[in-house]
């Protein structure tokens, strides 16, 4: 009996040590992300953030692990930059989680920046701003930056490496644009009644065919609700913000690179440690929703309009390569009623 009790105690001790190590790693990843924002001259996260944030998945209850950022202050006193802000994640040490932390801290620093404003103005300039803040920082996580913080070896520059990196980003970012738009096209149709309940699935796949050029793998009737497979649809989260953010992040990024005095290829710019860029970014964040978003955008980028030109400039190497690869090819598709994809003959 004593031996059994001792064995159980040893297992418990090992398990506790493992959990503590997981938490320590998650906190270190978050501290590294915080370092980027602090290098720009922004404040450190308040002590309450480290006390109240969910870094790893708890064992005593079920939680939603979808990463999210929370402003719990709901107004503040107009003075304290240490507002109650938190993130909720189930962090594991991988590249996706690492970049997600940088993204979520973008929300948090936006919350901190506009905290002194009256509650009515504590929000993003428009829906896309909040999502674009952290994504802008993610763009600046270049191989040169990762090397400077000791995460990767010195990058070997080559055209092939550039194309591979840009293709990877484009497949997740640029190809997202039609998807990001069609989600709310469908939602708006539901809300205004132009898409009837008996057409929910049909119209979903028609929009996917129109915007994405994809069709279902098998017949999908109205007994299915395929739109509900997207987290944000049943969660009642507007999706156009992500579409707008994809455009805005490149505008913000170019504006910050210009503020930092960078003159090289846009896709190689990092403004880590540049206080001039940080000051300009913080000034924009501090405006919150206190003025029209066009005015806020102009202060950083010099234009009041959404503009895809910085995105095109960023992906110029990939675009040139794709033109060469696709020369003489017919690109695109004829959008029609979505039909199931027929399996290939055996």
Q: Which two tokens stand for residue 296?
A: 């806020």
Which of 232, 276, 299, 313 is catalytic? The answer is: 232
Domain extents for the chain?
19-161+243-314, 176-229
Please tell me whether 131 is known to bind a ligand: yes
Question: Tokens 């109650």, residue?
Answer: 84
Comparing C-alpha atoms, which of 202, 246, 253, 196 is closest to residue 226? 202
* 223 tagged catalytic: no
* 232 tagged catalytic: yes
Burial grade of 121 (CB within 10 A; 0-12, 13-18, 19 or more): middle
> Is the CB of residue 233 less than 8 Å from the CB of residue 207?
no
The C-alpha atoms of residue 160 and residue 167 are separated, in whole angstroms, by 10
Give the C-alpha distances (Å, rounded to integers) separating 301 from 22, 42, 233, 278: 40, 20, 32, 14
> Is the CB of residue 219 less than 8 Å from the CB of residue 341?
no
The C-alpha atoms of residue 166 and residue 315 are separated, in whole angstroms, by 7
Please tell me whether 66 is known to bind a ligand: no
Please tell me whether 103 is known to bind a ligand: yes
Q: Number of H helices and number of E strands within the chain?
A: 13, 2
> Is the CB of residue 248 less than 8 Å from the CB of residue 311?
no
The C-alpha atoms of residue 89 and residue 49 are separated, in whole angstroms, by 13
pTM: 0.87
pLDDT tens series, the chain, 346 aa: 445 555 566 788 888 898 899 999 999 999 999 999 999 999 999 999 999 999 999 988 999 999 999 998 754 444 554 579 999 999 999 999 999 999 999 999 999 999 999 999 999 999 999 999 999 999 999 999 999 999 989 888 889 999 999 999 999 999 999 999 999 999 999 999 999 999 999 999 999 999 999 999 899 999 999 999 998 999 999 999 999 999 999 999 999 999 999 999 999 999 999 999 999 999 999 999 999 999 999 999 999 999 999 999 999 999 999 999 999 998 888 776 656 655 556 6
């Amino acid at each position: 009996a004593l031996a059994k009790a001792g064995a159980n105690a040893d297992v418990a001790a090992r398990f506790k040590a493992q959990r503590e190590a997981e938490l320590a790693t998650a906190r270190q990843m978050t501290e590294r992300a915080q370092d980027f924002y602090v290098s720009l001259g922004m404040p450190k996260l308040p002590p309450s953030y480290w006390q109240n944030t969910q870094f790893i998945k708890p064992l005593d209850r079920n939680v939603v692990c979808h990463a999210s950022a929370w402003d719990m202050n709901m107004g503040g006193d107009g003075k304290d930059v240490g507002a109650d802000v938190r993130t909720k994640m189930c962090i594991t040490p991988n590249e996706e989680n690492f970049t997600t932390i940088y993204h979520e801290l973008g929300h948090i620093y936006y919350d901190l920046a506009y905290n002194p404003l009256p509650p009515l103005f504590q929000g993003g300039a428009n829906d896309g701003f909040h999502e674009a803040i952290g994504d802008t920082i993610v763009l600046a996580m270049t191989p040169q930056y990762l090397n400077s913080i000791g995460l990767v070896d010195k990058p070997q520059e080559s055209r092939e490496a550039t194309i591979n990196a840009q293709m990877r980003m484009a497949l997740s970012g640029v190809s997202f644009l039609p998807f990001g738009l069609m989600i709310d096209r469908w939602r708006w149709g539901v809300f205004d009644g132009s898409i009837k309940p008996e057409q929910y699935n049909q119209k979903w796949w028609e929009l996917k065919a129109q915007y994405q050029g994809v069709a279902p793998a098998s017949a999908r009737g109205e007994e299915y609700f395929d739109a509900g497979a997207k987290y944000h649809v049943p969660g009642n989260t507007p999706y156009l913000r992500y579409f707008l953010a994809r455009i805005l992040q490149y505008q913000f990024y170019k504006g910050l690179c210009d503020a930092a005095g960078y003159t090289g290829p846009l896709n190689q710019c990092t403004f880590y440690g540049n206080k001039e860029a940080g000051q300009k970014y913080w000034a924009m964040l501090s405006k919150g929703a206190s003025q029209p978003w066009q005015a806020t955008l102009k202060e950083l980028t010099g234009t009041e309009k959404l503009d895809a030109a910085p995105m095109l400039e960023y992906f110029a190497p990939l675009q040139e390569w794709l033109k060469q690869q696709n020369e003489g090819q017919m690109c695109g598709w004829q959008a029609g009623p979505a039909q199931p994809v027929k399996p290939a003959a055996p």
